[in-house]
């Protein structure tokens, strides 16, 4: 089913699978707007924490299983992940599907970054597991692969006919996504495959450049993401949001500064991620270099305040 962006697809999925008060398990950190969608659907997000030191790998199945109760209706993943860049393996997905089948719940996977996998990492779509087709929902979008964020064209894919029938009822409130954007999206599908090959090469090059640059900044901890175009970095500060505000309000390097996304709000568990930021490597390497230079100088200036 075509939706008005991947965001609407996620919202519709939560509203279809869940009644008010139901729960969805989600690895944290996760895309912050999922909290808004859950709030709109009156659904409780139950976090299971993935960690920087583990490269944000999917936590053990026993950690997910102990969170399942009669109110649990689904597990929600994003692969490649926003904000961590982690790519879940075929084995990760199969183990999660087995858990979902055991407890009669759905597995929902946001796959909008599917083309952006690096270092030979193989992307596995949740739709390839045909034996679990009745409990799988895939969310996708044109926004990332074709830089069409403003067009608002996404999709829900499922072989569960009852799920699609129920979701279709929700779509009556907005009739349909804009026709012009749908025509543009259909045209985008005819793009020569070489386009995405080159785009992926560029992002992989930017990722390598950014990781190497961050590793040279004293006190910064990070991991090398396998996909998407984000990286989570832990900074040598107590409060990343306060530091990000300092960079914008009280600091510049030759008239320039850098904007960071504090990572605390990517977590549902309070207190986690307070020292972390998300960085999107959507700039060219020259500008990424300037950004890291601003970060390094900003950290030094921040530490020396009042000294």
Strands of the chain, DSSP E: 2-3, 23-28, 44-49, 72-78, 106-110, 136-141, 154-157, 221-222, 230-234, 261-262, 276-280
Please give the DSSP secondary-structure letter assigned to residue 83. Answer: T
- pTM of the model as a whole: 0.95
- Contact criterion met (CB below 8 Å) for 207 and 255: no
The pLDDT assigned to 49 comes to 98
- Mean pLDDT, contiguous 10-residue spans, the chain (307 residues): 95 98 99 97 98 97 98 99 98 98 98 96 96 97 91 95 95 87 94 95 98 98 97 98 98 96 97 97 97 98 83
Write the pLDDT tens digit of every residue in 17-27.
Answer: 999 999 999 99
Phi, psi of 78 (to 5 degrees): -135, 120
Q: How far apart are CA 201 and CA 286, in angstroms?
A: 16
Please give the DSSP secondary-structure letter assigned to residue 58. Answer: P
Compute the C-alpha angle 80/70/47, nearest 5°: 35
Tokens of 179: 């026709």
Q: Choose which CATH entry (3.40.50.10610, 3.40.640.10, 3.30.420.40, 3.40.50.720) describes domain 2-188.
A: 3.40.640.10
Contacts of 262 (CB under 8 A, 6+ apart): 240, 241, 244, 273, 276, 277
Q: Choose which CATH entry (3.30.70.980, 3.90.1150.10, 3.40.50.300, 3.40.190.10) describes domain 193-303.
A: 3.90.1150.10
Query: Which regions of the chain carry the CATH code 3.40.640.10?
Result: 2-188
Q: Is the sign of the CA dihedral 48, 22, 109, 151 positive or negative? A: negative
Contacts of 167 (CB under 8 A, 6+ apart): 1, 12, 13, 16, 156
Please give the DSSP secondary-structure letter assigned to residue 226. Answer: S
Distances (CA, A) of 288 to 35, 224, 226, 259, 279: 29, 16, 19, 12, 10
Q: How far apart are CA 79 and CA 93, in angstroms?
A: 10
Query: To the nearest 5 percent, what fractions of the chain are helix, strand and coil?
Result: 45, 20, 40
Query: Which regions of the chain carry the CATH code 3.90.1150.10?
Result: 193-303
Write the pLDDT tens digit of every residue in 165-218.
Answer: 999 999 888 888 889 999 999 999 999 999 999 999 999 999 999 999 999 999
The pLDDT assigned to 306 comes to 60
């Amino acid at each position: 089913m075509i939706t008005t962006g991947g965001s609407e697809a996620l919202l519709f999925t939560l509203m279809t699978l869940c009644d008010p008060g139901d729960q969805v398990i989600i690895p944290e950190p996760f895309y912050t707007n999922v909290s808004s969608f859950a709030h709109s659907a009156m659904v409780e997000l139950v976090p299971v924490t993935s960690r920087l030191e583990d490269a944000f790998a999917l936590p053990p199945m026993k950690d997910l299983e102990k969170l399942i109760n009669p109110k649990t209706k689904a597990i929600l993943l994003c692969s490649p992940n926003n904000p961590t860049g982690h790519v879940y393996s075929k084995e990760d997905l199969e183990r999660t599907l087995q858990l979902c089948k055991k407890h009669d719940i759905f597995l929902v996977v946001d796959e909008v970054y599917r083309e952006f996998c690096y270092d030979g990492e193989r992307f596995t779509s949740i739709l390839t597991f045909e034996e679990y087709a009745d409990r799988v929902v895939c969310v996708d979008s044109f926004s990332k692969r074709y830089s069409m964020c403003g067009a608002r064209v996404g999709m829900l894919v499922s072989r569960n006919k009852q799920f699609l029938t129920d979701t279709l009822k929700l779509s009556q409130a907005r009739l349909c996504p804009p026709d012009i954007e749908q025509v543009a999206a259909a045209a985008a599908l005819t793009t020569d495959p070489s386009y995405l090959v080159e785009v992926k090469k560029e992002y992989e090059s930017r990722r390598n450049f950014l990781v190497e640059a961050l590793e040279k900044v004293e006190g910064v901890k990070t991991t090398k993401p396998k996909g998407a175009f984000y990286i989570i970095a832990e900074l040598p500060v107590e409060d990343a949001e306060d530091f990000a505000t300092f960079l914008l309000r009280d600091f510049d390097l030759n008239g320039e500064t850098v904007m960071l996304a504090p990572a605390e709000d990517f977590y549902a568990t309070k207190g986690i991620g307070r020292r972390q930021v998300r960085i999107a490597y959507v700039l060219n390497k020259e500008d990424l270099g300037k950004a890291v230079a601003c970060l390094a100088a900003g950290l030094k200036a921040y530490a020396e305040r009042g000294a």
